Amino acid sequence: MDGHFTGYASLFGVPDLGRDVVAPGAFAASLAARGAAGIRMLWQHDPAEPVGRWLSLREDSRGLRVAGQLNLAVQRARELDALLREGSLDGLSIGFRTVRAQPQRGGLRRLEAIDLWEISLVTFPLQTGARIAAPDRTSLAQDLHALARRMAPPRRPAPPSTRPGSRPAAILPAPSARFA
């Protein structure tokens, strides 16, 4: 495994278990100021447990889309990679400071601007839909087969069989050479 993964760290318009609802554009200023390199990847929000780096963070129509890479030189990251690959771990959670929020009906709070500090891989995300995408093993297998076909030497026709009882191969006339 190479430690790469993608997913959504936050979904727009979906209340989390703490009754916060993230508004589209809430991450824009923070992402512009820090970029992916300025946001830490942690395990369970523990600052003593950095486990990799974010390759890209961007808002799309659904939420905060992430692509990350676990640092497989770190023991915890190797463990997390194994758990991700087998489907035992798939939660993501954001660590942030609220910049601007508005109260909403039903006791909800609309987060309009967020200062994003870190995104953690977690066992139980506060926003239940914030998940790492399941690895697409089918396309990986197809990619590997295609690569093997490209790397394989060209196939040569099999020589005629000399087994007893085999039928001789059709004999075609040799192409004639013409010189002008």
45 is catalytic: yes
Banded pLDDT at 176 (limits 50, 70, 90): low
- The predicted structure's pLDDT at residue 6: 97
* Cβ atoms of residues 41 and 49 within 8 Å: no
Dihedral sign computed on CA atoms, order 119, 74, 70, 132: negative
User: Could you identify the residue written with the tokens 């963070």?
Assistant: 57
Residue 108 reports pLDDT greater than 60: yes
- Residues with Cβ < 8 Å from 164, sequence gap 6 or more? none
From the list 4, 45, 49, 112, the catalytic residue is 45
The answer to whether 118 is a known catalytic residue is yes
Rounded Cα distance between 106 and 43, Å, is: 32
Ordered domains of the chain (ranges, CATH): 4-122 (3.20.16.10)
Answer whether residue 20 shows pLDDT above 70: yes
Residue whose tokens read 């430690």: 3
User: pLDDT tens, 24-43?
Assistant: 999 999 999 999 999 999 99
What residues pair up with 109 in beta bridges, in sequence order?
A: 20, 103
User: Which member of 10, 30, 93, 120 is catalytic?
Assistant: 93
Concerning whether 145 is annotated as a catalytic residue, the answer is: no
| Whether the model pTM is above 0.85 | no
Residue 180's pLDDT band (boundaries 50, 70, 90)? very low
